[in-house]
């Protein structure tokens, strides 16, 4: 029986794995990536970082002051929350709709707080927000827009503009399962004049981080093979325990370090191809009854789709309590986090036909 995966480095081809292992980066690759990002997003300054949360932290530090409040999607990852707090800002979580997992203008219009100074646009799973309406809302309330492209690099809004070309800054993550995936790394493109001075990272990545990025796709391929004898998950847990593999949420925020040179090289190759392949969601999603039961049925049929975005409004679950998430104010986000299942988009549609049949038997009426 053929197996299909949401994680376990599932979207790396043999060529990608070889490139990840053996690419020889140069100092020029870092500069080439910076220059390309400046041109693509019409920026004033591009900065490469260790990961996406570090890039987001620098963007927030550039445009906001300590204690400012920032509107954040109520269905997101801990990395976003961590970046906001690292910039000495306060997140204001906004509830989302069930159609595209983003907040909309009706929800935003209910919010009134003069301490709110900015808004982070996420475009969850690559589904774009109504950017024209949100841009008008931001201008009305004098809010600075930060675009987080982790899920949506290459995606276009309904008005034809590309994500990353609207706000004061565009933030990219090159982490696992993102639109641009080199295992780790990130970047921020500052498009408007900064309110505060920020310093670009000057340190090279730690050797341990460099090696984890090199070997993760190979480890993932081995784990995929071993799932046929029910050992893939066990091996991955062991690799995590001995720190040869790092869970995405545990990739430490560090605004002092740059990405590896080979990651810059691979990120540039991928971002240049976005116009060919990037204008689609990175995940499909469904809302189902009895999610645990559905996941078991999927796994029995060879579909390993747990580890999805997101099992809590702010994921992963092990960090959720740290966020003091306002569940009463974000009821849609709570509901969705309890019922959502993601499907990957890097397999051919026919490969997932059986998975869809299983899921469609358990759809929530509201889905």
Summarised one tens digit per residue, pLDDT across range 319-330 is 999 999 999 999
User: How far, in Å, CA of 91 to CA of 56, rounded?
Assistant: 13
What pLDDT digit, counting tens, does each position of 13-59 carry? 899 999 999 988 899 999 999 999 999 999 999 999 999 999 999 99
Residue 207 within any structural domain of the chain: no
User: How far, in Å, CA of 46 to CA of 31, rounded?
Assistant: 9
Question: Which pLDDT score is estimated for 366?
Answer: 47
Assign residue 34 the CATH number of its domain: 3.40.640.10
Indicate the average pLDDT of the chain. Answer: 93
Total structural domains within the chain: 2
47 lies in the same domain as 180:
yes
What pLDDT digit, counting tens, does each position of 82-133 carry? 999 999 999 999 999 999 999 999 999 999 899 999 999 999 999 999 999 9
Q: Which residue has the tokens 């927030």?
A: 60
Residue 6 within any structural domain of the chain: no
Question: Where are the extended beta strands (E) located within 208-312?
Answer: 283-287, 303-304
Task: List the structure tokens of 133.
Answer: 């309406």
Give yes or no for a contact between 194 and 169, defined as CB atoms under 8 angstroms apart: no
What pLDDT digit, counting tens, does each position of 335-352 carry? 999 999 999 998 998 999
Determine the straight-line distance between the first and last CA of the chain, rounded to whole angstroms: 30
Residue 330 within any structural domain of the chain: yes
173 lies in the same domain as 322:
no
- Determine the longest span between alpha carbons in the chain, in angstroms: 59
Q: Which of 171, 190, 209 marks a domain boundary?
A: 190
Give yes or no for a contact between 263 and 208, defined as CB atoms under 8 angstroms apart: no
Residue 79 within any structural domain of the chain: yes
User: How far, in Å, CA of 134 to CA of 136, rounded?
Assistant: 5
Give yes or no for a contact between 37 and 177, defined as CB atoms under 8 angstroms apart: no
Residue 89's domain comprises: 23-190
What pLDDT digit, counting tens, does each position of 147-193 carry? 999 999 999 999 999 999 999 999 999 999 999 999 999 999 999 99
Among 100, 101, 112, smallest CA distance to 74 is for 101
Residue 220 within any structural domain of the chain: no
Residue 258 within any structural domain of the chain: no
């Amino acid at each position: 029986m053929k197996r299909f995966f949401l994680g376990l480095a599932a979207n790396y081809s043999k060529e990608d794995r070889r490139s990840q292992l053996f690419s020889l980066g140069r100092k020029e690759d870092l500069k080439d990536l910076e220059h390309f990002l400046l041109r693509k997003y019409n920026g004033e300054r591009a900065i490469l970082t260790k990961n996406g949360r570090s890039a987001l932290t620098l963007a927030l530090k550039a445009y906001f002051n300590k204690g400012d409040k920032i509107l954040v999607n109520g269905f997101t990852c801990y990395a976003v929350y961590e970046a906001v707090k690292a910039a000495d800002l306060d997140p204001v979580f906004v509830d989302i709709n069930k159609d595209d997992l983003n907040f909309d203008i009706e929800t935003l219009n209910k919010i009134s707080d003069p301490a709110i100074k900015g808004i982070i646009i996420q475009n969850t799973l690559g589904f774009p927000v109504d950017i024209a309406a949100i841009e008008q809302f931001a201008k009305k309330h004098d809010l600075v827009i930060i675009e987080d492209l982790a899920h949506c690099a290459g995606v276009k809004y309904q008005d034809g503009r590309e994500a990353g070309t609207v706000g004061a800054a565009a933030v990219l993550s090159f982490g696992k399962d993102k639109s641009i995936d080199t295992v780790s790394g990130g970047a921020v493109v500052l498009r408007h004049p900064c309110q505060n001075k920020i310093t670009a990272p000057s340190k090279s990545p730690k050797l341990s981080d460099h090696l984890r990025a090199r070997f993760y796709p190979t480890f993932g391929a081995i784990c995929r093979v071993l799932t046929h004898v029910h050992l893939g998950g066990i091996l991955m847990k062991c690799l995590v325990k001995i720190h040869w593999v790092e869970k995405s949420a545990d990739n430490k925020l560090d605004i002092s370090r740059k990405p590896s040179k080979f990651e810059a090289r691979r990120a540039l190759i991928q971002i240049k191809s976005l116009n060919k392949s990037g204008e689609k969601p990175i995940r499909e999603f469904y809302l189902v009854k009895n999610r645990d039961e559905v996941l078991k049925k999927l796994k029995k049929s060879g579909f390993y789709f747990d580890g999805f975005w997101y099992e809590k409004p702010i994921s992963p679950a092990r960090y959720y309590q740290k966020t003091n998430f306002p569940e009463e104010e974000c009821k849609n986000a709570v509901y969705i986090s309890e019922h959502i299942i993601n499907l990957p988009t890097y397999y051919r549609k026919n490969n997932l036909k059986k998975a869809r049949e299983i899921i469609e038997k358990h759809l929530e009426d509201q889905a």
